[in-house]
Amino acid sequence: MKKITILSVFMASAMCGFSQSAAKRLIEYRPAPGQHMNMENIGTPQAAQKMTGDTTKMVSLGSFGGYIVLGFEKACVNHPDNPYGIDFTVFGNAFAGSSEPGVIWVMADENQNGQPDETWYEIAGSHHAHPKTKKNYAVTYFKTDTRDIFWKDNLGETGWIRANSFNLQEYYPLEENFPGYPQESVTFEGTMFPTEIDSSNLNSLKILPPVFGYADAYPRKQNVDVTLPDNPYTIETEGAGGDPVDISWAIDPQGNYVDLDSIHFVKIVSGNLASIGWLGEVSTDVAWVQAVKPRPEISGKENRLVVYRHPLKMLKGDSLKLEARYFEKGRNINTPVSVVSQNENVIRIASTGKLLAHASGEAVLEISAGEEVEYTTLKVVIPDSIRLLSDFSSVYPGDSIDLDVQVFDNEQEKISVPVQFLSSNTLVGKVIEKEGTFIFVAVQPGETILTCSAEGFPLEKQVRVNVYSADDKIRVYFTLMTEDENLLPFQWIEVEAGNLNEAVENRQSDYSGLNQPTLFHALASGLEKAEAAFRFRDDDAASGKLYLYSVEKGGLFTYGWGGKIEPAAFARSWIARWNSKQFLNTFDQKEIADGDTVALYHVPGISEDWNYTRLLSSKDSALTGEEVEITLEQTSCSLANDVISESGFVPVSNAEVTAGSTYFTDETGKVAFTLENEPPLIVSSGSNAVLISKKLTTGLVPIARKVFRAYPNPVEDNLFIQGGKGVETAGNRGTSARILDPTGRVLFEKELVSGLVKMDLSSLPSGMYYLVIIQKGEAETHKIIKK
C-alpha cells in the first residue's frame, strides 16, 4: 500500500542494546513486483543493504512472495529466560490501521558454514490454522508494456497490480537494479493468509493485523529498548512493540512443531496478494530484526485464545461456523473450544457447534478454552428493502443492461442476499443469468414490469421498464452558446434517432444506422431548434472522429476543429458538455437518455485553460407569483490527451443577471426573484441563459394542496417526511420522494410508507435542493435548504 516516506515513525532516538545480536547481514533480497520497486530509498538492493545497518531505514518486499534473507551477527538463542518465551522481534512499517503482514521463516546453521543452505522452518503464527490460509500457494507475475503487472496463480485465478498516481516508476524490478532478475515473468511460492480489510469507512480503509507471529503487523513503540519484547499474548504493548517471535513456534514441512535451540538466519516473505484501491497493493516492509535479551525477572501471560474475525451480522435462517484456536506458549493446542449464546432467542448453538440465526436481534457469545474466555457480539437481521440501481431511462431493442441491485437490512445497511428477477412480459424484455450476474435483454418495443425478490423472504421490488422504438422521441435539457452570445437558452428539446448523413460535410463514415438517440442527434436537434445553420465533419483534423465544424446564425460563422491544437489558429473548438463530461468529438458514439443535460459551447483556444460558466434555475417552469432562484457558477477546464477535465464548480459573485429586471449574484452565486409577469421568461447572464416556461415540463400534475410535511428546513442531516397515504405495494404506483439539485438531477429517491420517513442528507453539500413527492401521478414540491 502507499507508504509515508518520511520515516519519523521509526527511531528518532538512539536504540539501546546493540550488544545483543541483530540480523545485520544481508544474504538475499528478491522482492516481488510492487509500487515501491526501483525506488532508491525503499525498493532496491542498496536500500536493503542500508536497512541492515541503519535503524531508520526500511525496505519493501513487494507483493506476495517477495522476500529478504538476513543473518544474525551471532546465534539467536531460544533462551528460557527470554521474556514470555520471545527470542527476537521483527520491526516493520506498521502503524494504526495499516498492517501488511509477512510470513517469517527461520534456519539454524547446523553445518556452521555461514550459509542458509539447510532446512527452512516456517513460524506458525496465529493465522497458520486459519481456514482461509493457503499453503504451497504460487503466483507468477508478468511484466507488461505498462506499469501494471499481470499475475496468475496455481489455482487458475488471475488479476492485476495496478499502477497508481503516487509512484510513477516501473513496478517490475528492473535489470539495472536487480541483475539476473527475470525480465519477462517471475514466480514466487509460499504461505498466503487472508487479507482482512475494514472497509466500513471508504475514506479510511484499514488493514487488520493477525494476532501474533507475523512481520510488519504491529508498530514499534518509541523510546523503548528494542531488546525488550512485547508480550504477544496480551492486547497491551509491554515492550518495544513490533512483532515478537518465539523460535518454538517453528514447524517442519509436515506441519509439526520442531525444537530448535537457536537459529542463525531469518527469511521474511510478503504474505498477501491484495489491493486496497487507491492505496495500492499490500506489501510487507522490513526495518530491523533484533534478538531479545534474557530477562528472568520479566514474566507474564503465555496463553491466548484467538477468535478469528467473523461477520458482525447474520441473516435470519443462516448458519455460521465460528473459528477459534487455543494457543499455549504460542503453539496451537488441540483444546476443545466452547461457544455459549447468551440470547438463544436470537442465536442458538447447534450440536455441530454452528451458530443458527433464529430471530432478528443481538446476542453476546461467550467463547472459552482452557482458562481463556473471549466475548463477541453478533446481530441477526432480515432483508428490509431492495434498490434497483440500473438505468432504464433509454432502453431499445437489442440493449443488454446489467441488473444492479442492492438489498438493505432492517438497520438500513447493505447486505448480501440472493435475489431472483422476473419479467412480466418476456416478449418485450427477458432476464438471463450469466456467471452470477442478471442481465435484462430488451427484445421489442413495449412495456414490462421487472420484479426483483429476495430468496427466502417475502420482499420484492418492481420497476416499470419501457423499451422504446427507434421512432420514439426523448427530451434533453439543452443550451447553445458562443463565448459572446447565447443562441438558445437552456430548455427542453425533443430528440429522436435518425439518419444524419446530410449533416456531415465531406463525410467519411456512414451515420444512417444510428438507431438510438446519440449526442450527435441531440446537438443536431438543438442547433435546428436555434435555427442555426451547421456542418459536422469527420476528417483528419480530428483523426476521422466526428466533430462540429461550423455554426452560422445571423451571417456570423463560428468554427471549430474538433480538438486540433496546432497551428494555434486552429486550436478552437465546439465542445459538448453532456451531463458532467465534456467531449470535443465522437458525438455519434455517445448514447443519450431521456432527461440528460447537454450544453454546446465554443472555446476560441483549447491549448490553454479556459472557464466554463453555467446558469442554473431552480425551476424550468413556473407561474406568476412564484419564486425562482438562479445560480451562476464556473469551473476551470483543461485539455490533456484529448480528455477535458474540470477543476470543480465555484460560485460567481457580483455578476449581473437579467430577468425582466437587473439583479446581482450574492457571495454564493445566487439570485432569487418573484415572477411578476406570466412566463415565458428568459433569464441571462453574459452568454448564459435559461428559459422559464409557463407549462410544466415534467408531465406530473401538481397536487392542489400540500399533504406532506418536510422538516426541519433548513436541514443539517436527517430530513423527516410526514403525511400522505403511503404506498400500496412495492413497485406499484405508490408514493416516492426524490431529492433534486437545481438542475433537476435526481440525487436520492426513496419510497414512502405511512407515518414518518427519514431521508439522510448528510452527504449533500450546503445549498438549495428540491424535494419532489410523487403520488399516483401527482407531484408536490418543497424547496429544501441544506445547511
pLDDT-based confidence at residue 678 (cuts at 50, 70, 90): confident
Structural domain contains residue 5: no
Q: Please give the residue range of the domain that contains residue 712.
A: 701-786
Instruction: Name which of 36, 32, 63, 5 is nearest 281 in CA terms.
Output: 63
Residues 84 and 190 in one domain: yes
Give the helix/strand (H/E) hosting 496: strand 486-496
Mean pLDDT of the chain: 89
pLDDT at 474: 85
pLDDT-based confidence at residue 11 (cuts at 50, 70, 90): very low
Residues 357 and 269 in one domain: no
Structural domain contains residue 93: yes
Q: Is the pLDDT of residue 6 over 50?
A: no
Mark 585-601 as b/e (b = at least 16 C-beta within 10 Å). bbbbebbbeebbbbbbb
pLDDT at 145: 92
Rounded Cα–Cα distance for residues 354 and 293 (Å): 44
Residues 629 and 529 in one domain: yes
Provide DSSP, 557-576.
EEE--TT--SSGGG--EEEE
Residue with the bigger pLDDT between 395 and 10: it is 395
Structural domain contains residue 724: yes
Mean pLDDT score, 346-364? 95
Instruction: Name which of 482, 472, 464, 378 is nearest 423 in CA terms.
Output: 464
Q: Is the pLDDT of residue 707 over 60?
A: yes
Residues 213 and 229 in one domain: yes
Model confidence pLDDT, tens digit, residues 123-164? 999 999 999 999 999 999 999 999 999 999 999 999 999 988
Structural domain contains residue 227: yes
Burial class of 131 by CB neighbour count within 10 A (0 to 12, 13 to 18, 19+): exposed
Q: Is the pLDDT of residue 718 over 60?
A: yes
Model confidence pLDDT, tens digit, residues 166-220? 888 999 999 999 999 999 999 999 999 888 877 666 566 678 899 999 999 999 9
Q: Residue 145: count other Cβ atoms within 10 Å of its Cβ.
A: 5
Q: Is the pLDDT of residue 15 over 60?
A: no
Structural domain total, the chain: 5
Give the helix/strand (H/E) hosting 77: strand 67-77
Residues 637 and 591 in one domain: yes
Model confidence pLDDT, tens digit, residues 512-566? 988 889 999 999 999 999 989 999 999 998 999 999 999 998 889 999 999 999 9
pLDDT at 358: 96
Residue with the bigger pLDDT between 478 and 9: it is 478
Residues 388 and 376 in one domain: no
Between 15-29, 435-449, 696-710, 748-762, the lowest mean confidence (pLDDT) is in: 696-710
Q: Is the pLDDT of residue 696 over 50?
A: no
Structural domain contains residue 212: yes
Residue with the bigger pLDDT between 15 and 116: it is 116
Q: Which of 449, 467, 485 is the last residue of a domain?
A: 467
Domain harbouring 455, CATH code: 2.60.40.1080
Residues 225 and 331 in one domain: no
Structural domain contains residue 226: yes
Mean pLDDT score, 314-342? 95
Residues 518 and 559 in one domain: yes
Mean pLDDT score, 235-248? 95
Between 71-75, 331-335, 469-473, 625-629, the lowest mean confidence (pLDDT) is in: 469-473
Residues 649 and 522 in one domain: yes
* Whole-structure pTM value: 0.62
Instruction: Name which of 662, 661, 665, 658 is nearest 688 in CA terms.
Output: 658
Instruction: Report helix, strand or coil for 109.
Output: coil
pLDDT at 544: 94
Mean pLDDT score, 652-673? 94
Structural domain contains residue 31: yes
pLDDT-based confidence at residue 728 (cuts at 50, 70, 90): very low
Phi then psi for residue 108, to 5 deg, are -95, 145
Q: Which of 355, 381, 407 is the last residue of a domain?
A: 381
pLDDT at 156: 94
Q: Is the pLDDT of residue 400 over 60?
A: yes
Handedness of CA 34, 35, 41, 44 (dihedral sign): positive
Residues 726 and 621 in one domain: no
pLDDT > 70: percent of the chain = 91
Instruction: Name which of 562, 580, 735 is nearest 639 in CA terms.
Output: 562
Cell match 448528510: residue?
762
Structural domain contains residue 309: yes
pLDDT-based confidence at residue 2 (cuts at 50, 70, 90): very low
Residues 602 and 494 in one domain: yes
Residues 327 and 251 in one domain: no
Give the helix/strand (H/E) hosting 50: helix 45-51
Q: Is the pLDDT of residue 695 over 70?
A: no
- Cβ(512)–Cβ(504) under 8 Å? no
Mean pLDDT score, 395-421? 91
Residue with the bigger pLDDT between 325 and 626: it is 325
Q: Which of 692, 719, 739 is the last residue of a domain?
A: 692
Domain harbouring 737, CATH code: 2.60.40.3080
Q: Is the pLDDT of residue 638 over 70?
A: yes
Residue with the bigger pLDDT between 460 and 777: it is 460
Model confidence pLDDT, tens digit, residues 730-761? 333 467 788 877 655 678 788 776 567 888 88
